[in-house]
Amino acid sequence: ELMDDLIGILGQLETLVNQGRFEELESDTIEFKSCPANSQDWSECYRSVNAFLNTRGGLLVLGIKEVGQGRERKYVLSGYDAAAESKLVELRSAFTDSDRRSLDLTEYLPPPEIRTFMSGRIALQRVDALPAQKRFVFFKGTAYKRQLTGDHAVKQPELDRYAEFLEEIAQARELDVLGQEGIESVDLDRVNEYIVQLNRLQKIESLKPSPEDAVPFLTRKRFLVEGRLSLLGALVCGAHPGDLLGFRAHVHGYVNSVGGDAVIVQDKQDMVANVLLLLEQANAYVLRNIQAGISPMLGGTLSAQYPEAVLRETINNALAHRDYSINKQVVISITPGKHIEISNPGKFRDQLLLTLPHAYPSQAPILRVVPETKPRNPRLADVLRVYRKWEGRGIGMSTLVSLSLDNKLNLPYFRFKSDEVILVLQAGELLDARMIELFESRDAYVAKKLGSFEELTQEKKSVLAYLIKSEWANLEGRYCVLLTPDNNHAQAIKVLESVGLILRDSRSTDLYPVYTVDRNLLTDNFELELRQRFGAAIDDLALLWRKVLAVIYRYNNFSSKRVISAKQASFALWASEGHDQTDIRAFDHFNRNIRRVFNHLEEQGFIEREPGSGGKGYVLTSNLKGTQRGLF
């Protein structure tokens, strides 16, 4: 996919070079370098290649350099020197294992492509990510990994944890043999389809004319183990996978209709196939059964519920990471307009689950899942990578966080059963109507905390929204993916922490920091403050009345608007109580009810209209002169 994007990237680069401008084009998979003139500069290139190998692959572009600082920063075409060819060839043997033994990585470093670019030439060195069982590799005694646009040394604790993981996958069940099944149970067409994908960029394997001719290849790929079909082989190229694998070759799909408290199954499909066809069938089933929605909070606009890429990669990862020792199917349950649940046989390793008592004893425990980049079935993941079905950095984990922070996805969370992991993708966006109202009603408080030199940008809102919704999810016993600083929003996290809008739990580690949110951004219960103002009179009020008073208090004390109308209060309460954002008729009924509550509260002296607000803005009164009591 990276090479597919290359034309667009080079087009952007050409425009920037011609205009003498700079925009960040480097990423966790793209690195620009001038053609090195000395060994020190080559070491920088080798570090980047090492980081790509150890992370998720990438592209090194030689012949482009950055010059200048600040506003003078720009890209310049420095060009590729043919004398550099020998150094690129040396790349394939420049790295070692942890014992400093030299490695041949030709398979992951195809020959560079030399291209004409503008008035000169550039070299494109593609780097394929190493399979999980072959990481980490080292350059001059140090292993590097790619984070954002930089290459960072992997610390020893992470290397130690990965060594433990390698010991675990040495026992991976994907290489278990299936009884006495042998080459006669292999589908040759599936084998050749896999070889075609292997040869997509360069030929590395010949097509097989007969099953017997395929035996050496199948053995090398561990599809056959001592002549018998492995679980991995049955998943990828076994004939009659349902007979060979049982429910491990199944995905069950359900579409639910919710009516009141009842859940009715509207559509059901049982998919049985080899893993690659199973991925396609499951993706098609989900895409066919999701829908878009309309939000009354956002003016009746169409609201996308799920990015298609998220759905595709999440399902792919479910099949790549599931525990194939358990003879159960993956289950996809779709409730249109609400959520998609993907139930996966297996469980997370214990060290990936964090449970901390909240710093505030009255709050629910903090429940987090550490982003996992290591596949449970590394050889299957390597097969899927060839088919571009497995991203390699864990959608459902850290990438789900990034998509959520980019407001392309609502907060994802996990639930657990004894032998199942259930990922829930909620419909809508992270910055939904409820969050928009929350920030609006507290904007004065947030601005005061940020001070004169910072503002509540969209990025900072996303970080706050993610953490706020995580705490709400924890109240229901749901686990959320840990928000770590090594993502595209690290600077926003740093600023929010420095001003006290988010707080780092002192019990968490530098590698896995746990953040909670300033209580003033979460509190909607102002009973103490209202009681101090109105005394025991609030005890005679219905619950909805007290909720309305709390909303008015919040705007009066934390919002720059200070006043609030009945309709604004309706929006605030409708969103905070989790009502269906697409049910416009129900909202209209709710809004009329809130207007009646406002009228009664005004009659009883709890609230009054603020002069200069056009008669629509309300504030709490300072006392209860002439209050009538006992109506409710």
| Token reading at 169 | 């996958």
Q: Which helix (H) or strand (E) holds 316?
A: helix 308-321
Distance CA 495, CA 490 (A): 9
The pLDDT tens digits for 336-359 are: 888 999 999 998 888 889 998 887
CA dihedral 212, 214, 217, 220 (to 10 degrees): -40
User: Is there a contact between 59 and 148 (Cβ–Cβ < 8 Å)?
Assistant: no
Distance between alpha carbon 478 and the CA centroid of its chain, in Å? 16
Question: How does pLDDT run across 501-513, given as a tens digit for each residue?
Answer: 999 998 888 878 8
By C-alpha distance, which of 404, 420, 395, 421 is closest to 479? 421
At residue 388, the pLDDT reads 63
Residues in Cβ contact with 285 at an 8 Å cutoff, skipping those fewer than 6 apart: 251, 253, 269, 271, 332
User: Within 13 Å and on the Cβ side, how many CA atoms surround 488?
Assistant: 15
Q: What angle do CA 563, 564, 567 make, to 5 degrees?
A: 165
Question: What are the Cα distances from residue 523, in Å, to 114, 560, 622?
Answer: 60, 18, 22
Coil, helix or strand for 25?
Answer: coil
The residues that bridge with 342 in the sheet, in sequence order, are 332, 423
3-state secondary structure of 338: coil
Give yes or no for a contact between 546 and 530, defined as CB atoms under 8 angstroms apart.
Answer: yes
Task: Please count the CA atoms within 13 angstroms of the CA of 183 that sit on its side-chain side.
Answer: 12
Domains and CATH numbers, the chain: 2-153 (3.30.950.30), 173-239 (no CATH), 250-523 (3.30.565.60), 527-620 (1.10.10.10)
Q: CA-to-CA distance for 255 and 269, rounded, in angstroms?
A: 9
Q: Cβ atoms within 10 A of the Cβ of 118, count? A: 14
Q: Peptide bond before 136: cis, by omega within 30 degrees of 0?
A: yes
The answer to whether 276 touches 241, Cβ cutoff 8 Å, is no
Question: Are 332 and 251 contacting, i.e. CB atoms less than 8 angstroms apart?
Answer: yes
CB 30 within 8 A of CB 75: no
Amino acid occupying residue 25 = L
Evaluate whether 444 touches 356 at the Cβ level (below 8 Å): no
Hey, which residues does 333 pair with through a beta bridge?
254, 341
Distance CA 536, CA 624 (A): 11
DSSP annotation string for 238-264: BSSHHHHHGGGGEEEEEEEEEETTEEE
The single residue listed with the structure tokens 């922490």 is: 497
C-beta separation of 108 from 127 below 8 A: yes
Q: Are strands 420-426 and 120-127 parallel, antiparallel or unpaired?
A: unpaired
Can you tell me the distance from the alpha carbon of 591 to that of 597, in angstroms, rounded to the nearest whole number?
A: 10
Residue of 264, 306, 262, 258 lying closest to 286 (CA atoms): 306
Give the DSSP per-residue string, 298-359: TTTEEE----HHHHHHHHHHHHHHS-TTS---EEEEEETTTEEEEEEES---GGGEEEE--S
Rg (Cα) of the chain, in Å, rounded? 29
Helix (H, G, I), strand (E, B), or coil: what is residue 326?
A: coil
Distance of CA 593 to the CA centre of its chain: 39
Which residue is it, tokens 């290139």?
Answer: 45
613 SS3 class: coil
What is the secondary structure of 478-524 as a DSSP string? -BEE---SSSTTHHHHHHHHHTTSEEE-TTS-SSS--EEE-GGGT--
First-to-last C-alpha distance (Å) of the chain: 64
Q: Which residues of the chain have pLDDT under 70?
A: 1-4, 168-172, 258-266, 291-305, 373, 388-396, 398, 485-488, 624-632
Strands 30-33 and 58-62: parallel
- Give me the residues paired with residue 61 across strands: 32, 124
Rounded-to-integer distance, Cα 84 and Cα 175, Å:
42
- Give the 3-state secondary structure of residue 51: helix
**C-alpha to C-alpha distance for 518 and 501, rounded to whole angstroms:** 5
Other CB atoms within a 10 A radius of the CB of residue 437 amount to 21
Q: What is the pLDDT of residue 182?
A: 93
The Cα–Cα gap between 465 and 478 comes to 16
Structural contact between residues 548 and 594, judged by C-beta atoms closer than 8 angstroms? yes
Residue 389 has what pLDDT? 58
User: And the tokens for 607?
Assistant: 């609230």
Helix (H) or strand (E) holding 293: strand 293-295
Compute the distance between CA of residue 516 and CA of residue 102 in angstroms, rounded to an integer.
Answer: 46
Q: Which of 130, 139, 162 is nearest to 58 (CA)?
A: 130
Instruction: Please state, in angstroms and rounded to a whole number, the distance separating the CA atoms of residues 321 and 315.
Output: 10
| Whole-number Å distance between alpha carbons of 592 and 567 | 9
Identify whether the C-beta of residue 242 lies closer than 8 Å to the C-beta of residue 272: yes
Q: How many CA atoms lie within 13 A of 589 on its CB side?
A: 5
Buried b (16+ CB within 10 A) or exposed e, 512-545: eebbbbbeebbeeebeebbeebbeebbeebeeeb
